[in-house]
């Protein structure tokens, strides 16, 4: 704000200049004092000039007056951690979906597209999010690749590159530092990357699943300050007590807020508690909501409504050093949410920088689609695979052999354990027919012809095959199959459409869901993408994948930063010890 704007704001606060907007009879949620009281709010353009209790209001003049009639008025909601790519929407279509839900600011880590396209992917997200009626801030992906030497991604971001990228506009810091083992062991690569952000006083976002005790202390000493991978309340307690920012998560797959809240109810207003969506599909955004849904879940779990609202406003704004955001107070940006009650958080209208941008769950302003070259580029390059490429050859001609593979603990969580399977062998190849096991293939789609094969238990793919390029974190092609012919058909079709999700059976394509932008984003708006995903999810459930989000299930197999054993294009990966496992 320049001095002329400050002068005008001062004049408005004093009643010497007409306010551009007055919101009167609001049930104001004051996140500073923890109070709710009736107040009037005066705006001058994009800023708040004055907030006054109704009985003390001098009724200053305003160009426009809106009577809120006792509805609640809170600061615009802030999502402390998410990946836009998980919605499969472009930044501008994502904005159209979340703004009507009360979200006026997000902090996004573009490490999905960063792993595929490197700095160019980050630049795309910045360009595609310009001039939106919301704040889209970004963090520079810290782990591209997620673990060096254990997977092949489309790019690599070195410490020197990250150091320069941190100076880009709307970059707040370093994205989730997933290589917690590297941090604890003072790995030089991670030390240099963390130090690039540390020396510039930038935010250092963490990622520390199941890290406790002295290892957690060591991780915090290493630099990262937050964690959204808090899966239970016991871990949340320890992390909050140690000063770590806990981004309580409610994604499409991982629902952790209830457990966290139930275990920290007795804490006195923890300022290091925020809420986030992490990975949320369009259907959940459109039907359940966005951060407003996280607030709703937290309140239902027993968190005081003011604390829940504070967690998605002031706490997050102050954690990320977002000046003049996160509160309704003089001199702050006029980002505000109007809702009808403190239980359901039903958003009625949304203001961004003093302008009404959404009302009754609809946008009131138009978002123009930019023209960006990368949106029309096919980024999937693979060789012409054969059936032989998807068969596991073993040193036994016929009979049985023991092979190390993966076992899911259940249908919900992404954690997989190492397990030794005794499997049939026919003509020198593993034959899983008659078993409940599935084959897994991960094929590199960037620089080489790498392909790795393994077996998995409890994936529950009863027939056919599914393949995807949305495969955390490398976003290579992951295929789960029973018949190698289906895997061949999928690999060819995925390359033709530039990425997405493809289902095959008996060697033929059954259905497909294209993600032509970097193999992970659609060009369609949220409603259309939601319907496409619902159709694909319904199909995959008939094939045996009975989870809340079947299309995302394959991606968890390649997530080599989540214990215990995962897959990459280099083979079966021991996540804890960071090495490739010899399967037999």
- The 3-class SS string of 511-539 reads EEEECCECCCECCCCHHHHHHHHHHHHHH
Task: Find the mean pLDDT for residues 215-220.
Answer: 98
What the block records as the tokens of 123 is 């630049």
Copy the structure tokens of residue 98: 């979340």
Nearest to 584 by CA among 408, 436, 429, 386: 429
Q: For the chain, where do the domains classified as CATH 3.20.20.140 start and end?
A: 84-303+310-316+363-370
Residue 230 burial by CB count (10 A; 0-12/13-18/19+): exposed, middle or buried?
buried
Write the burial class of residue 288 (CB in 10 Å: 0-12 exposed, 13-18 middle, 19+ buried): middle
Tally Cβ neighbours within 10 Å of residue 153.
26
The pairing of strands 355-359 and 347-352 is: antiparallel
Mean pLDDT of 473-494: 97
Find all residues with CB under 8 Å of 363, minimum gap 6, and list them: 96, 99, 100, 133, 357
Contact (CB, 8 A) for 124 and 154: no
Contact at 8 Å (CB) between 216 and 209?
Answer: no
Q: How many CB atoms lie within 10 A of CB 146?
A: 26
Cβ(337)–Cβ(73) under 8 Å?
Answer: yes
Q: Report which of 550, 526, 548 is spatially closest to residue 285, judged by C-alpha positions.
A: 526
Residue 294 pLDDT:
99
The residue count of the chain comes to 584
Q: Which two tokens stand for residue 402?
A: 């023991």
In tens, the pLDDT along 37-56 reads 999 999 999 999 999 999 99
Q: Are 233 and 264 in contact (CB under 8 A)?
A: yes
**pLDDT, tens digit (0-9, with 9 covering 90-100), for 327-340:** 999 999 999 999 99
CATH class as words, domain 84-303+310-316+363-370:
alpha beta
pLDDT digits (tens, 9 = 90+) for 505-556: 999 999 999 999 999 999 999 999 999 999 999 999 999 998 888 998 998 9
**Residue 461 pLDDT greater than 90, yes or no:** yes
Query: Residue 1's pLDDT band (boundaries 50, 70, 90)?
Result: confident
Residue 335 confidence (pLDDT): 99
Q: What is the mean pLDDT of residues 168-191?
A: 93
Q: Is the per-residue pLDDT at 203 higher than 80?
A: yes
The answer to whether residue 393 scores a pLDDT higher than 80 is yes
DSSP string, 421-473: EEEEEETTEE--TTSS-EEEEEE--SSS--EEEEEEES----SSEEEES--TT
DSSP assigned state of 551: G
Contact (CB, 8 A) for 581 and 560: no
Domain with CATH 2.30.40.10 in the chain: 3-70
Give the three-state DSSP class for 581: strand
How would residue 561 be classed by pLDDT, with cut points 50, 70 and 90?
confident
* pLDDT value, residue 224: 98
Q: Taking a C-beta distance cutoff of 8 angstroms, is the pair 290, 251 a contact?
A: no
Q: Is 500 left (phi over 0), alpha (psi -120 to 50) or beta?
A: left
Q: What is the largest CA-CA distance in the chain?
A: 91
Q: Which CATH architecture has domain 3-70?
A: Roll (2.30)
pLDDT above 80 (res 68): yes
pLDDT confidence of residue 281: 93
Rounded distance between C-alpha atoms, residue 197 and residue 266, angstroms: 34
Residue 411 pLDDT: 81
Q: Over pLDDT 70: what percentage of the chain?
A: 100
Encode pLDDT of 108-145 as tens digits: 999 999 999 999 999 999 999 999 999 999 999 998 98
* Each residue's pLDDT tens digit, 306-319: 999 999 999 999 99
- Read off the pLDDT band of 146 (50, 70, 90): confident
Predicted pLDDT at 348: 99
294-300's contacts with Cβ under 8 Å and 24+ in sequence apart are 294/248, 294/250, 294/257, 295/77, 295/345, 296/343, 296/344, 296/345, 297/250, 297/255, 297/257, 297/258, 298/248, 298/257, 298/261, 299/342, 299/343, 299/345, 300/258, 300/343
Predicted pLDDT at 253 = 81
**Residues 437/480, Cβ–Cβ less than 8 Å:** no
Residue 412 in this model has a pLDDT that exceeds 80: no
Task: Assign 490 a pLDDT band (cuts: 50, 70, 90).
Answer: very high
**Which two tokens mark 363?**
């946008």
Q: How confident is the model at residue 269 (pLDDT cuts 50, 70, 90)?
A: confident
For residue 562, the model assigns a pLDDT of 84
pLDDT at 471: 92
- In this prediction, residue 76 carries a pLDDT of 99
Average pLDDT over residues 446-469: 95
Please report the pLDDT score of residue 197 as a whole number: 98
- Average pLDDT, whole number, for the chain? 96
Question: Does 484 have pLDDT greater than 90?
Answer: yes
How many other C-beta atoms lie within 10 A of the C-beta of residue 229? 24
Q: What is the pLDDT of residue 578?
A: 87
Closest to 68 in 3D by CA, of 109, 38, 103: 38
Strand runs labelled E in 45-126: 47-53, 65-67, 72-75, 77-82, 103-108
**Is residue 156 pLDDT above 80, yes or no?**
yes
Asked if residue 192 lies in contact with residue 486, where contact means CB atoms within 8 angstroms, the answer is no
């Amino acid at each position: 704000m320049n001095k002329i704007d400050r002068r005008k704001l001062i004049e408005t606060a004093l009643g010497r200049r007409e306010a551009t907007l007055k919101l009167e009879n609001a049930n104001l949620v004051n996140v500073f004092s923890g109070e709710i009281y009736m107040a009037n709010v005066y705006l001058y353009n994009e800023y708040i000039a004055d907030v006054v209790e109704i009985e003390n209001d001098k009724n200053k003049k305003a160009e426009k007056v809106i009577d809120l009639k006792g509805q609640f008025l809170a600061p615009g909601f802030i999502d402390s951690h998410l990946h836009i790519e998980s919605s499969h929407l472009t930044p501008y279509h994502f904005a159209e979906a979340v703004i009507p839900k009360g979200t006026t600011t997000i902090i996004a880590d573009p490490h999905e597209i960063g792993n595929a396209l490197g700095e160019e992917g980050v630049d795309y997200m910045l360009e595609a999010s310009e001039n939106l009626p919301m704040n889209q801030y970004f963090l520079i992906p810290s782990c591209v690749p997620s673990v060096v030497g254990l997977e092949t991604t489309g790019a690599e971001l070195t410490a020197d590159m990250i150091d320069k990228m941190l100076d880009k506009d709307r970059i707040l810091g370093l994205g989730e530092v997933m290589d917690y083992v590297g941090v604890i062991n003072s790995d030089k690569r991670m030390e240099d990357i963390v130090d690039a952000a540390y020396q510039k006083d930038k935010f250092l976002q963490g990622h520390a699943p199941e890290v406790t005790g002295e290892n957690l202390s060591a991780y915090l000493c290493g630099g990262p300050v937050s964690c959204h991978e808090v899966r239970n309340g016991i871990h949340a307690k320890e992390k909050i007590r140690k000063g770590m920012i806990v981004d309580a998560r409610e994604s499409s797959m991982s629902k952790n807020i209830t457990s966290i809240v139930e275990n920290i109810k007795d804490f006195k207003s923890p300022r290091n508690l925020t809420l986030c969506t992490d990975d949320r599909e369009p259907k959940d955004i459109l039907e359940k909501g966005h951060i407003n849904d996280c607030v709703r879940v937290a309140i239902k779990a027993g968190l005081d409504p003011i604390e829940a609202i504070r967690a998605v406003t002031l706490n997050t704004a102050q954690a990320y050093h977002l000046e003049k955001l996160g509160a309704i107070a003089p001199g702050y940006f006029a980002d505000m949410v109007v809702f009808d009650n403190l239980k359901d958080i039903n958003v009625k209208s949304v203001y961004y920088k003093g302008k009404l941008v959404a009302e009754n769950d609809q946008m009131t302003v138009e978002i123009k689609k930019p023209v960006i070259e990368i949106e029309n580029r096919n980024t999937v390059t693979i060789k012409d695979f054969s059936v032989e490429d998807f068969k596991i050859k073993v040193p036994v001609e016929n009979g049985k052999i023991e092979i190390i593979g993966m076992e899911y603990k259940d249908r919900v969580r992404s954690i997989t354990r190492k397990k030794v399977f005794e499997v049939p062998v026919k003509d020198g190849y593993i034959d899983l027919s008659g078993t409940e096991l599935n084959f897994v293939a991960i094929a590199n789609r960037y620089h080489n012809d790498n392909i790795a094969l393994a077996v998995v238990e409890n994936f529950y793919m009863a027939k056919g095959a599914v393949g995807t390029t949305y495969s955390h974190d490398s976003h290579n092609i992951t295929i789960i199959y029973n018949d190698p012919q289906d895997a061949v058909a999928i690999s060819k079709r995925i390359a033709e459409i530039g990425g997405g999700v493809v289902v095959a059976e008996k060697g033929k394509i059954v259905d497909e869901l294209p993600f032509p932008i970097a193999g992970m984003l659609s060009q369609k708006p949220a409603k259309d993408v939601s319907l496409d995903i619902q159709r694909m999810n319904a199909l995959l459930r008939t094939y045996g994948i009975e989870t809340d989000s079947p299309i995302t299930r394959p991606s968890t197999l390649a997530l080599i930063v989540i214990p215990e054993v995962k897959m990459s294009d280099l083979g079966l990966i021991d996540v804890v010890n960071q090495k490739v496992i010899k399967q037999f």
